[in-house]
Amino acid sequence: MSNIIRRPRRLRQSDSMRRLVAETTLSVDDLIAPLFVREDIDSPQEVSSLPGVMQHTQESLIEQVGKLADLGVPGVIVFGVPAHKDAEGSQAWNPDGVVQVALQNLSAAYGDRITVATDLCLDEYTDHGHCGVVLDNGEVDNDSTIELYAKVAVAQAKAGAQVVAPSGMMDGQVAAIREALDGAGYINVPILAYSAKYASSFYGPFRDAVNVSIANGGNRKAYQQDFRNGREAIEEIKLDIAEGADMIMVKPALAYLDVIAEARAKFDVPISAYQVSGEYAMIKYAAAQGVLDEEAVMMETLTSIKRAGADFILTYFAEAVAKKLN
């Protein structure tokens, strides 16, 4: 029997040794928590398809952000669920809209103690569920849509957003938003661009969280990326950076680790990845059936996303991870 033991195995002999030589370590500083604030509820409501994830009232949102700040989580991203929706999504830029009110509340409560980013899109606010203005032929009008994105960006910045995160995958959205922010005097508000956002099958529970369904059984494949394409993502990222994106995102994360790694190799801006609702729900449901260890898989998957090259991760596990690591 061979007695050959090679160096990699010698460095795996104890937990302390494995920790000492670990190439990638997940930190609380790597986390952003996605949060939902809803207009027409009196108490927080759990999203049925996202165990442990809540639609918050304004009051419970403030409380939840405080908990995350106390745990050392450096950032949250806020999604709004308005009581009224229309064809343009006008509540997205209403100064009294659900997200703008939330931003004012959070700014007053926490200041710069925690970074508050905002999803910048229209799908949560439109009655048809698309991310922009829909023409009579059913197509989304790119140029009219980015004009509205610019209005939303200024409204969010005015209300206190510290980062705006356009997620609609419209051509030219970053340039339009940067111009609008700069023109309104918000030159220090950075843009986190959803640059490589795929038309993924992993978004179902998120749509429950924001009460969105796409009219007439439609989809967003005409403007979100095709899951079969990787090189295209690099081109999208390149264009967004050229337009002024300060940070970029790959979404979803686990099925696109190759895209994260390629982006990390090619670009020097901060890169984020979104562990989306379907990824989270799969882990939660599998753990509930006893087929895997939720905490272990939570840590393994998030570490894999960081190992691929993400600087920070949007994840519904943010609070659980922070509690484990503190």
- Which residues are designated catalytic? 197, 251
Return the closest-CA partner of residue 225 out of 235, 213, 211: 235
Task: List beta partners, residue 225.
Answer: 198
Q: Are 316 and 280 in contact (CB under 8 A)?
A: yes
Q: Where does residue 58 rank: exposed (0-12), middle (13-18), buried (19+ CB within 10 A)?
A: middle
309: left (phi over 0), alpha (psi -120 to 50) or beta: left
Give CA torsion, residues 77, 81, 82, 85, to 10 deg: 110
Q: Are 272 and 311 in contact (CB under 8 A)?
A: yes
